[in-house]
Amino acid sequence: MKLKVGLYIGIAVVVIAGGALLAAKGKDAVSQAESRKQGVLEAEQRTIVYDQSPGTIVKINAAPGDPIKQGEVLFKVKSEEGAEVDVPSPDAGWISRIIVKPGDKLTQGMPVAVVQKSNYYADLYVQEGEIQKLEVNKSVNVHFPYLNRPAQVKGIVASISAAPQFASLRMTRERGQADLSMFLVRISVDSNSDLLPGMTAEVDFDEIAD
């Protein structure tokens, strides 16, 4: 009986000591969960607006889903003066939507197409105590944990801004509940064949050097 009691006590001491060591290093399960910030991968889109003299569309060179290069001519327009006008894409990416059709009359300011740009982004909400790890243009690892083949790509911190509409509450002995400021961090990621808008993107703050 004494042997069993001693064995149980020994196991308990090892577990407690191991847990304390992990907690001290910030590697316990709770700390690991808190260090991982998740957001949803989004695709940047841009509406192409006609900015030339009034005219009529005579040819459309792309369809929804087509890959396009920056500067590629998407539309041919015949102006009222009889000149042929090219409408190029301002960005590389894919055609998300064609708004017009051949024969449509165009004037300045009319939208003609929507382009899905070839770079993605994810927005993360970060507490003020962790924001010092980040700065604009800093490189970070972005994980996609729910792919069949989990992927990691390089991301760039595109912007950091205050997010006053979000507050994180913590308990303090002196004042009860106190608000912590939150920051909105946008991480820019280059697209590839494995990634799709709507996927979960994750940044582990334990991987970021101070």
> What's residue 89's pLDDT?
94
* pLDDT tier, 179 (very low <50, low <70, confident <90, very high otherwise): low
Structure tokens given for 76: 């041919």
Identify which of 204, 97, 189 has the alpha carbon closest to the alpha carbon of residue 145: 204
Sign of the four-CA dihedral 85, 88, 94, 98: negative
CATH 2.40.50.100 fits 44-117, yes or no: yes
Q: Report the pLDDT averaged over residues 165-189.
A: 67
| Average pLDDT over the chain, rounded to an integer | 80
Q: Which residues contact 156 (CB under 8 A, 6 or more apart)?
A: 137, 138, 139, 140, 187, 188, 189
Cα–Cα distance between 52 and 61 in angstroms, integer? Answer: 18
* CA–CA separation, 114 and 99 (whole Å): 8
What's the rounded mean pLDDT across residues 139-158? Answer: 87
pLDDT digits (tens, 9 = 90+) for 63-88: 999 999 999 999 999 999 989 999 99
Exposed, middle or buried, 56 (CB in 10 Å: 0-12/13-18/19+)?
A: middle
The pLDDT value recorded for residue 5 is: 46
pTM, to two decimals: 0.62
Which pLDDT value is given to residue 24?
A: 45
User: Which residue ranges make up each domain of the chain?
Assistant: 44-117
Q: Is the pLDDT of residue 117 over 70?
A: yes
